Structure 1
Amino acid sequence: MSDTPKHTGRRRWLRRGLELIIILLVFLAIKAWLQRDMVSGEAPPLQGVLLDGSPVSLSDYQGQPVLVHFWATWCGICRVEQPAIESISQDWPVLTVAMQSGNAQTLREYMQENDYTHPVLVDETGALSARFGVGAVPATFVVNADGEVRFRQRGFATGWGLRARLWAADALN
C-alpha cells in the first residue's frame, strides 16, 4: 500500500527541516574553523598613528564598545563592506586597520577618493593584524567597554549585524 498524500507531504517537510539543520550545522562548523586563530577574551594591545597623524590606542576606547575592523584596499569584499563601516563610524566608536595596503599616503588617497572618514591604522607588514590572529580580511571584532572581545567574524558582515553586535556588547556590559 502506498503512502497517502498527507504522509508524503509531512515526510517532505521533515526531510527539508532535517536538510536545513544539516546546512546550518555545516555553516557553523565552517565559521568556527575560519575563526579558530582569531583572538577571543581580552583584546591584545593595539596602538599606532592614524592617517591624520594622531596617536591612537585601543585602550583609548575603554568604557565603551568599539568596532575593530581589519581590511585591505585590494580586498573586494572589504570594498563592499566599507560603506557600512563608514556609516557605523558615525554612530559608534570604530577603529580600522588597513592590512598590507601600502603606506599612509597611499591610504590617505584611497580614503579621500572614496569619501571615507573613519579612523585607519596602517599595517604595512601585517604585524598588527597578526596580534589579533587575522590572516585574511575582512575580519571584525567587537570589543566591549572592559576591553574584551565579545564578537568576532571573518568574512563579510552586514552593517545591521555589526550594529546589533555593538548594541549587544553595550547592553550586556
Structure 2
Amino acid sequence: MMKIRRRTLMLLALELLLVMAVVFGVNLWRTRESASGVAPDITAITLEGKMVNLGDYRGETLLVHFWASWCPVCGFVDNSVDAIAKDYPVITVALSSGSDAEIRQHLQEEELSFDVVNDADGEISQRWGVVGVPMSFIIDRQGEIRFRDVGYSSAPGLRLRLWIADNFDAQR
C-alpha cells in the first residue's frame, strides 16, 4: 500500500514538472522576439501629465506592463497590476487603445488607478517587441529585463517574479 502511494506521488510530481516545463517552453517561444537584456528606454508623458523616463527607476525593481482597452484577457490582469502598483513602481503602456480621453474613460469604468502612457501609434510597443497583450516585463535594479511574459499573468506570479528580481541579483 505504501509503495503504491509513493509511486503515485512520484508520477504526479513528474507530471507536474513536465507541465511546468511545457508552459515555460511555450512562454519562451512566444516571447522570443521581444526585448531582452537592457530594457529599451521609455520617455513619455502619462495621461496624468507626469514625465516617465525608465532611467529614473535605476536602483528599483519595476513592472512594465503593456495592455489594451480592447483586450479581453487584459481585463483579468488589470486589477492585479493596479494592486501591484501600490507596492512596486509600475509603468503601464496602453497599446492602440484610442485617445487619452477614451483611455481615461476605460480606466474610470474599470476603477483602475495605475499610471498610463498612451502608445497610440504602437511605437513604444514595437521598440519593446511586444508580440501580444497583455505583456509584462520585470526590470531589475540594474535596468535589465529579468522576466517577460505574454498573456494572462496571475498577481502571485507577477509578485513572485518582482520579488525574485528584487532580492536575487542577476550579476551574482
TM range (shorter): 0.7 to 0.9
Cα offsets for 1:98-132 (capped at 9, x unmatched): 01111111111111222211110001121101111
Computed over aligned residues only, the root mean square deviation of the Cα atoms, in angstroms, reads 2.1
| Pair 1:143 & 2:139 matched | yes
Contact 2:131 2:150 survives alignment (8 Å): no
* Letter matched to residue 136 of structure 1: G
* Letter matched to residue 119 of structure 2: D
| Pair 1:26 & 2:52 matched | no
Note the C-alpha offset of 1:137. Answer: 0.4
Contact 2:139 2:165 survives alignment (8 Å): yes
Going from structure 1 to structure 2, the CA distance change for 1:120 and 1:6 (only over 3 Å counts) comes to: closer
* Letter matched to residue 124 of structure 1: A
Q: Which runs of 4+ in 1 moved over 3 A?
A: 5-25
Residue 65 of structure 1 is matched in structure 2 by 61
Residue 115 of structure 1 is matched in structure 2 by 111
Cα offsets for 1:27-66 (capped at 9, x unmatched): 2321111111111110011111100122211112111111
Percent identity between matched residues is 38
Going from structure 1 to structure 2, the CA distance change for 1:57 and 1:19 (only over 3 Å counts) comes to: same
Structure 2 length as normaliser, TM-score?
A: 0.87
| Pair 1:131 & 2:127 matched | yes
2:36 equivalent among 37, 40, 55: 40
| Pair 1:105 & 2:101 matched | yes
Inter-partner Cα distance in structure 2 for 1:14 and 1:104? 54
Going from structure 1 to structure 2, the CA distance change for 1:112 and 1:16 (only over 3 Å counts) comes to: closer
1:163 equivalent among 139, 155, 159: 159
* Letter matched to residue 64 of structure 1: E
Unpaired segments of 5 or more residues in structure 2? none
Inter-partner Cα distance in structure 2 for 1:168 and 1:109? 35
Note the C-alpha offset of 1:96. Answer: 0.3
Residue 94 of structure 1 is matched in structure 2 by 90
Contact 2:31 2:131 survives alignment (8 Å): no
Structure 1 length as normaliser, TM-score?
A: 0.87
Inter-partner Cα distance in structure 2 for 1:6 and 1:114? 52
* Letter matched to residue 43 of structure 1: A
Going from structure 1 to structure 2, the CA distance change for 1:47 and 1:10 (only over 3 Å counts) comes to: same
Q: Which has the larger radius of gyration?
A: 1
* Letter matched to residue 110 of structure 1: H
Going from structure 1 to structure 2, the CA distance change for 1:112 and 1:145 (only over 3 Å counts) comes to: same
